[in-house]
């Protein structure tokens, strides 16, 4: 069972506690944590409790929220599109094969731009087409005759889930300043429950059961 810390925080105020410490308290209360995966936030420098910690920290200058203003066909590939994308500073032509952008192809300027996660040249993300979680750094290349140096990211490339077929759209409106940092970074626990017992409390009742 995967448990985003943001969801648990809706029931229990744990925002001021280190993630590893909360994992220790949960395990001590009878709900064993197998591993902790970070998506976007820096990984802890040390873990004295032996948890398996993994994930990716997003580079604030290279992974940002951007807006797609138009989606045009690729001149040499039916399954690729060229997006007119604004990252808060510059307008780019970004090549992508995300199928959830196909319906917008050839419509010209979109009446409402699409907010997406955008990785700039040099950003380190997960390879969306590799087996498992394999890190890759974006480098300039030519794809079907078109320059490609950045990309619109899927959830897998950001480390959020295994979904890699579609671009990940932001559900929040970026702030008005030039750089629009992604703000939905979070750690996620994977819990292996002990055999169910009547004495095992639900997550939101755990503070009263945490060891002192």
Q: What is the pLDDT of residues 4-21, one digit of tens each?
A: 777 777 887 887 888 888
**Superfamily classification of domain 63-158:** Nucleic acid-binding proteins (2.40.50.140)
By DSSP bridging, strand 109-119 and strand 77-86 are unpaired
pLDDT at 41: 81
Structure token pair of residue 120:
């700039």
pLDDT at 88: 87
HEC string of the chain? CEEEHHHHCCCCCCCCCCHHHHHHHHHHCCCCEEEEEEEECCCCCCCCCCCEEEEEECCCCCEEEEEEEEEEEECCEEEEEEEEEECCCCEEEEEECCHHHHHHECCCEEEEEEEEEEECCCCEEECCCCCCCCEEECCCEEECCEEECCEECCHHHHCCCCCCCCCCECCCCCCCCCCCECCCCEEEEEECCCCCCCCCCCHHHHHHHCCC
pLDDT at 202: 52
pLDDT at 133: 86
pLDDT at 27: 81
pLDDT at 172: 43
pLDDT at 212: 46
Low-confidence ranges of the chain (pLDDT < 70): 1, 168-212
The pTM of the full predicted model, rounded to 2 decimals, is 0.74
Going from N- to C-terminal start, the domains of the chain cover 2-56+185-209, 63-158
């Amino acid at each position: 069972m995967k448990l985003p810390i943001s969801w648990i925080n809706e029931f229990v105020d744990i925002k001021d506690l280190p993630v590893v410490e909360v994992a220790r308290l949960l395990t001590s209360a009878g709900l064993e944590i197998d591993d902790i995966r970070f998506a976007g936030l820096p990984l802890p420098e040390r873990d004295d409790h032996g948890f398996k910690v993994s994930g990716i920290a997003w580079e604030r200058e290279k992974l940002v929220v951007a807006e797609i203003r138009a989606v045009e066909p690729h001149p040499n590939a039916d399954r690729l599109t060229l997006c007119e994308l604004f990252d808060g500073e510059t307008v780019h032509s970004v090549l992508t094969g995300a199928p959830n952008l196909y319906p917008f192809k050839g419509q010209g300027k979109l009446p409402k731009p699409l907010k997406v996660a955008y990785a700039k040249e040099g950003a380190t993300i997960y390879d969306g087409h590799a087996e498992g979680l394999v890190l890759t750094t974006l480098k300039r290349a030519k794809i079907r005759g078109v320059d490609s140096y950045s990309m619109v990211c899927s959830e897998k490339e950001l480390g959020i889930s295994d979904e890699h077929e579609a671009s990940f759209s932001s559900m929040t409106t970026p702030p008005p300043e030039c750089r629009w940092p992604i703000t939905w970074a979070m750690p996620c626990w994977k819990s292996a429950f002990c055999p169910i017992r009547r004495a095992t409390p639900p997550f939101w009742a755990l503070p009263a059961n945490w060891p002192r």
